[in-house]
Structure 1
Amino acid sequence: MGKSFKARNGELEMKSLHYFTKILANCLLLISFACAAMPNIQNQSLTTSKGCLDKPELSLDSQNVKLVVLGEQMLTESGIVSQSKSIGYAFEAKANQKLTYKMDKNVCIWIFTPDNQLLNTGVLPTTGKYIIQVSAPQGSTTVDLSMGLDVAQTSPPSTPNSSAVTSAPSPENIPNSAPPANTTATRISRSNFPKASCGDPLPTNPNDYPVDFYPVYLPDSEANLQIAQRFCQDALSKRRKDSRTRAVQVAAFTSKQRAIEFRDFLNSETSGASIAPSTRIQNKP
């Protein structure tokens, strides 16, 4: 009797242990499947419709950050950006000032607050130094970025990763003539000169090539050369590639819009400034 009871009891214990082991294995399988199916949210970045990430993947090199002074007049800066290269603009601002910016192309923009947090509104929360980081969602491009603080406007300020549409005419439709009053010539101030060089430098990253440069010329004369060198010390007399005639090359820009603005500025100081067709540099020298 005792042996039969013990045998049955042992058999019952073995069945219970087998049943428990089976349940445990099924639970582990379900947990493993759930973990494999669930995305790693902490390491996943959301992508906007423009192909820009919520946070930049690239760290901004301090050598590619330019210090600018922003005010009520829009300041325009140009630079070359790509998927592998970002440029930045640092500026000082006070709490509750409103940041406005406009860009001419589909690029990615992130704005960092003084405490290194991403800004998602046009109103600046604290006093200190802010940094605007710009890159391209794909390829390489030259971008013109206009920025200002407390700019009087009727439209709402831009927010990160959104572009503002302006009514400015296309650069291709603007003739090589002196500008009427209140045009882009007002964007460049005489207080910014003289400069050792007024144009854009060659890109240092081989991936930014090919690149187009738009030369700005004055008619060739000793007087025009002296005027040009008062603003741009590296201005020189040379033979133009398009007409094979001599002229004073004052500067060359990777952005046609910047070349137009500089030409208009020169025409407000003298006359005859013009933009030559672009020259393409295929590879890094």
Structure 2
Amino acid sequence: MFTTVLHPKFSYTTLLFLLSFILLAQSTEEAIFNQKMKLAKGNSTAETALTIAKSFLGQPYKAGTLDASDKEQLVCNLKDFDCWTFVETVTAMSLTKHSAQANFSTFMNNLKKLRYRDGEVNGYASRLHYFKEWAIRAEQNKVAQDITEMIGGIPANKEINFMTRHRDLYAHLQDNDTYNLIEKHERKLNKHEFYYIPKANVKKLESQIQDGDIIAITSNIEGLDFNHEGFAIRQNGRIHLLHASLEMKKVIISTEPLADYLNRFKKHSGIAVVRLL
């Protein structure tokens, strides 16, 4: 038996309010999840992913949702997304839909396995901060396969180290132990080959991209692997991008084909294609 001692200004009413707020937030996310699980199950994970992704059209874009707390924890936000959390959330839902137990607990476990190195939440550095490593680990876990080289990709010949080169941009990297861990993971990441399809070649390779493929847009920025992520969706014979758009502040399907979308942004160098298994 134990006794909880509260600060004089911290009443049990406040405690109950906070607990109620946390439970309400979780129940809201679980309710949204349950709605998505009622959507039609596709013949493949990719087909299901596209169905789920389209069901989020119009949802708001919001950056920084994973960094809202000082303490690293598994965040589940099904109401608004940045480009990466959108792809990750939809992928986790699709895996859950095709699993033996398509429940919220399974979904949260899938989300954790995708987001954290070895599926363990152990501080800021345990989260995957480079999408290239996300794709590598998804392939190792038989969730997806990077098919970029197979369909005509070329070596990027690029060192990935943006975070440690720009330590001042990341509050968590002011801690030396965290900084050293991120630097260690960057060195490991750079031992892996990195292929991409230059944006000038994307249009002629569109026939090899399938609906529901994850499109990761490579970066011209020094030290950075990718600028943006989304899902491939074919419309009128051309590949478009279904994504959480910073430009439009919501989840959309690009009005122009992917190849044209890439050409509007100088910072985009091309794409990698990751196919869900």
TM-score, structure 2 as length reference: 0.29
Counting strand residues as a fraction of each chain, which structure ranks higher?
1
Structure of higher CA gyration radius: 1
Counting helix residues as a fraction of each chain, which structure ranks higher?
2
TM-score, structure 1 as length reference: 0.29
